[in-house]
Amino acid sequence: MMRFARHLEVILKLSEFRNEPLTDFGKEPNRKAMEEAIKTIRGEVGRQYPLVIGGERITGLKSSSTINPARKVETLGSFQKATKELVNRAVEVAATTFESWKRQPVEVRAGVLLKAAALLRQRKHEFSAVMILEVGKTWAEADADTAEAIDFLEFYAREAYRYAGEQPIVKIDSETNDLVYIPLGVGAVIPPWNFPLAIMAGMTSAALVTGNTVVLKPSSDAPWIAYRFVELLEEAGMPGGVVNFVSGSGGEVGDTLIQHPRIRFIAFTGSREVGLHINEEAAKTPKGQLWIKRVIAEMGGKDAIIVDRETNLEDAASAIVASAFGFQGQKCSACSRAIIDQAVYDEVVELIASKTRALRMGAPHEAASQFGPVVNESAFKTIKSYIEKGKKEGGRLVTGGEAHGEEGFFIEPTVIADVDPRGTIAQEEIFGPVLAVMKARDFDDALRIANDTEFGLTGAVFTDNPEKLARAEEEFFVGNLYLNRKCTGALVGVHPFGGFNMSGTDSKAGGHDYLLLFLQAKAISRKIKAEPRTVAEAAAF
């Protein structure tokens, strides 16, 4: 009970969680600070980066390079390609470190997150600058990513105190009972490239603050930002071996990790195909494995915005364009389907087209750019093929559709109207700047089309009719439903994030139950010896 009281005292001293504010780059000091940060980060281009296992830096291996997707001739850095032997070593080091890290009080574990958040806040523009160069985020998108990473650190630190505190259980007279949450063990964290700081930091910090240790396998498209984050954690006081940084291919590093019998859980964000592969491999129980591996997966979406005839069409069109083309449509929450009531279809299509044409495409390191490149050559080719497929299947190209691959991987924001709801670009996740627009007979038909997908991540409805909004709340089957606003931009603590069906395990990142996924519950009961009530009873006792 004294331990619980101490935790409560610390919680009361912590300020109430508040989301990190976004930077206003319209203000000259902020603009100059970002320009200076980009200049600073450019000075680091071309370096070689090591593996980090137990705090030890390991180099001298085969390596792969990351490039600037806006300027594909520019090599940003060289990263080691871990061997299976080194992956196994990282798991063993993490397992050894777990025995001491799990015994650290929550004050120490949460303290690392809070210190890391403070350091990240001081250097936020430099971290954003890395993402601008490494994955092609515009200033605003990179700044939002960094702010979300700070939010995860701050939010999960506070949540850790709550789970370390006294839990509500029914009291009885004959026993004292406690429910405590204990960590799972060694986890594999496999983050995506599209939110390479926020999601990576969120999964990693959730694991370590709950007492687990981690082998972090960064995305091959975004290892630089992950390495910088590991350095940040070390500076914040994280001991060696708690988070081990192991770069390399999915086949060599990823599969070795997820198949290892000492891996207790896997936190993954990425494609449906890879997520299902991880889930299948994790379900196997190799010799020496003592548990059923836990999989925490977020696997993408085919998100829709419904536009009813009873709504503000300007607002709806603006929300569709922002949701479809923010970070070049490379978000699992992006609007890739616009489902529009036939009564307002033509007007909304034209509004969407005009707003899309107004987007300023350019190199993301330039402040004026609103729309940058896609992440790599593979994505560039795949997205182009989807555009052609959409046209061949009867879609009407309204705007965009051109690819500009001479200098970088640029594809114009593309709107294809009159799409068959069962067509390829209406059903498959493109993960790029392609919006499929479909006509619905009425609101009933729009809901039917919206739900006619194997995914269930985000969705939005624009209508001024309260009865239709109520129906959407009941019938639109997604994990994050937005009414009369865009379907992207979830805030930590405000919009717990995660979806249904093939969108993943509904993990609800940034929500109050997320840390439970990295914990297991243990009930402890102590029998109370009854006090003797008479002299005779005392003698007999």
List residues with catalytic annotation.
Answer: 298, 332
Q: For 21, phi and psi rounded to 5 degrees?
A: -70, 150
Beta strands 480-483 and 458-462, pairing class: parallel
Q: Measured between alpha carbons, how far is 293 from 279 in angstroms, rounded to an integer?
A: 9
CB 458 within 8 A of CB 501: no
Token reading at 419:
């799409």
List of residues 6+ apart from 32 with CB closer than 8 A:
none
Q: Tell me how far apart the alpha carbons of residues 93 and 98 are, in angstroms, rounded to a whole number.
A: 8
Collapsing DSSP states into helix, strand and coil, what is residue 416?
A: strand
The residue with tokens 């190199």 is 363
For 246-255, b/e burial (b = at least 16 CB within 10 A) is bbbebebbbb
CB 316 within 8 A of CB 304: no
CA 196 to chain centre: 8
Residue 64 — φ and ψ, nearest 5°? -130, 155
- Rounded Cα distance between 79 and 245, Å, is 11
How crowded is residue 78: how many other Cβ atoms within 10 Å of its Cβ? Answer: 15
Name residue 99's amino acid. E
Largest Cα span, the chain: 98
SS3 262: coil
**455-456/410-411 β-pairing:** unpaired
Q: Which neighbouring-strand residues pair with 504?
A: 298
Ranges of beta strands (E only) in 342-470 are: 396-399, 403-404, 410-411, 414-417, 434-440, 455-456, 458-462
Distance CA 271, CA 428 (A): 11
Q: Provide CB contacts within 8 A for 18, sequence distance 6+.
A: none
CB within 8 A of 232, min separation 6: which ones? 116, 119, 120
Rounded to whole angstroms, the Cα distance separating 66 from 73 reads: 10
- List the one residue out of 131, 133, 126, 127 whose CA is nearest residue 68: 133
Q: For residue 199, give the DSSP letter.
A: H
In eight-state DSSP terms, residue 253 is: I
